[in-house]
Structure formats: structure tokens, C-alpha cells
Amino acid sequence: MSEQQNHPEEIIHIGLHKTGTRFLQGEVFQQLDSNEFSVNPEPLWSKLRAAVRGPGDRAAAEAAREAVNNWRNSGDNRKLVLSEPHISGDMYSCHFDYYQNLQLIKQLFPDAVILFFVRNQADWLHSAYRQQLVKGPGIPINVFLNHYEGEFKPRLNRRVFGARNLEALNLRFLEIYRQYAAAYGASRVYLFRQEDLKNSSELVKKRIAEALGISSLPFPPKDKTKNRSYSALAISLFFPRSNKDFPKPTEKDIGPKQKRFKKISKPLKQFRHNFIQYVFDKIMYWDWDLLARGKMREKIDAHYAEENNELKRISRIILEQGPEALESDYNSNSN
């Protein structure tokens, strides 16, 4: 059966990570009427997730293709909603593989509506650093962002000093939007900024409802627990390596560290995580800007100033007029 025939409406949330995904998945998508929507159905979602986490893996891509066909042949006529931030690429490699995933998504879901959330780059990097600490070793934020000797440097390896790291000045937020707008047509791509979830939440919700084809979003449960990142105080106290000065890494510092006492360290890390999130930060959440060190925030904001102005312009047009107002700016590559 052709993947482009007789399929119901499809809405795909592609990320980014750290841009309100928990809000969308828990307080929007999971609250939708299950008689009208199928949200991240199995095994389709797991197969797709595996494929976009391993771009170029032909077996994984074929398994995703088979899962899509099986779902379409199942007779399920509900709208399909898929939420998978890995579609936008590997967050710890600056989403370098996003285009491979775009090609796969376009093949599997040629007529989908795309939801794409971005965020101020400095704030995104700040949040990505804190996320790295949840499962990775403690390192200073300048090491995570490869900021040495007063400048941002290219990274030597995916891991330095045993921890994940990235290149702060090589993010692709605008590029990802433009490529999806070119592939699908701008009228089918909704770009939102996480900041607008706070400042223009009703407009954002209105456009998300529009993308889903409903009049308004359902009301989420009132007892939702907010998921906050570790506070700066908690990082300082419970990740002592984050307070140290590290030299610029060399070849001897790259790659993962050999894990000693894994059976003991893993439960200890989980205990630390639970204690910080559910005890320490609940009692005393003392935070500050970790990017103030070495004026990293100023440098990041300056580097992305022009791109951020364009992202703000696009998102504002979408909020106020709808994505179709941008259609003339992009040509669809649809076959």
C-alpha cells in the first residue's frame, strides 16, 4: 500500500528538547479525546523513535516504515499525533543529523502538520547543561560549552573529561525551521518560542488547537507537578567537580570514562537526583545564571542576535496571522 494514500490527518511535534515537551505531551496531547486522536501509538512510536535516534540505520528506518504502514492498514481512522523531540536531531551534537530525520519523516508522513518549538539559545544551552548533569558526571558549564581561554572552541569529541559537551555557537534552530517549511510548505509548519508559552500562552494554545483541528485545547489536571531543572545551588553543592577549573582538553581527555563500581554508583546517582528534585530544591530553590561566568551569555546572545530576531518575527506572524501568512516565503519540495 502506498504511504500517501487513504491516511488520516497527522500532526508531528518534532522538538526541540528542553522547550516544553513535558507540557505538550502531558498537558496537551495526553488530554486529547482518545476517540478522535491516537497519541504516540505503539509500536509505531517506538519504531519511529529508534529510527530518528539512529539516522542512517536502514534496518531501523525500514522497521519504522513497516510500523507506519501497519498502523494505516489497521483501520484506525483517528488523527495521529506523534511527539518525539529526537526528530529534530541529537541535542548534544547541535542537531547535526536533523536533515536525515527530516527526509525520513517527509517520506513517512508527506502531508503532516509540523509543530516545532524553539527557545532563546543561551537559555536552551543553560537548560541542556543541567540536563547533562542528571545522568552524566559533574563538569563546569564552560567545559560543557567548550569555553576556554575566553573563547568558545570547537569540541574535540562527543565526550570530554567523561562528560557530554557541545559547541555553543553551532545551533541550528532557524535552519531546521526553514528546511521543514521548504519541505512541507510554511502553512503546515507551526514555529513557536518557549518564551511565548509564558508571555502569549493563549495565542500559542489557540494555534496548537488549530494545528490539531479542534476549537480549543482540553483543560489539563490541576495537580500537575512542574519539572524544574536543578538549582544552581544544588549543582554547586552536589556536583563539586562543577566548581573546579578544567584545562582545555587534549586527546587524552576525550571519550567516556571507565565506569568503576557501576552497581553502586548508579543507585547513588538516582538517590542524588531524587533528593535534589524532590527534597532539596523543594525546600530551598536558590538559582543564578551559570552563564554569567566568563560573560558566556553575552557572547551567545550576540552571536545569535540576528537569528533570534528572525525567529521572533516568524513566530509572531504565526501567532497573530497563522502559518499560511508565511507561505509565499517558502517553496514546497513535496513530490
Q: What is the pTM of this model?
A: 0.91
pLDDT (0 to 100) of residue 2:
35
Residue 334 lies in a domain: no
pLDDT (0 to 100) of residue 203:
94
Interval 82-97: pLDDT, tens: 999 999 999 999 999 9
C-alpha–C-alpha distance, residues 29 and 220, integer Å: 10
pLDDT (0 to 100) of residue 251:
93
Q: 193: domain range? A: 10-329
Nearest Cα to Cα of residue 106 among 24, 181, 196: 181
Residue 14 lies in a domain: yes
Phi then psi for residue 304, to 5 deg, are -100, 10
In whole angstroms, what separates CA 289 from the centre of its chain? 21
pLDDT (0 to 100) of residue 121:
97
pLDDT (0 to 100) of residue 173:
98
Produce one character per residue of 28-38: b if its CB has 16 or more CB atoms within 10 Å, e if not. Answer: bbbebeeeebb
Residue 42 lies in a domain: yes
pLDDT (0 to 100) of residue 137:
87
pLDDT (0 to 100) of residue 4:
41
Residue 146 belongs to domain with CATH number: 3.40.50.300
pLDDT (0 to 100) of residue 8:
61
Q: For the chain, which residues score pLDDT lower than 70?
A: 1-8, 221-227, 258-264, 331-335
Residue 335 lies in a domain: no
Residue 267 lies in a domain: yes
Q: Report the domain count for the chain.
A: 1
Residue 60 lies in a domain: yes
Residue showing cell 540576528: 306
The alpha carbon torsion through 280, 285, 286, 289 (nearest 10 deg) reads 110
pLDDT (0 to 100) of residue 264:
66
pLDDT (0 to 100) of residue 262:
61
Residue 233 lies in a domain: yes
Residue 83 lies in a domain: yes
All cell numbers assigned to 235: 549543582
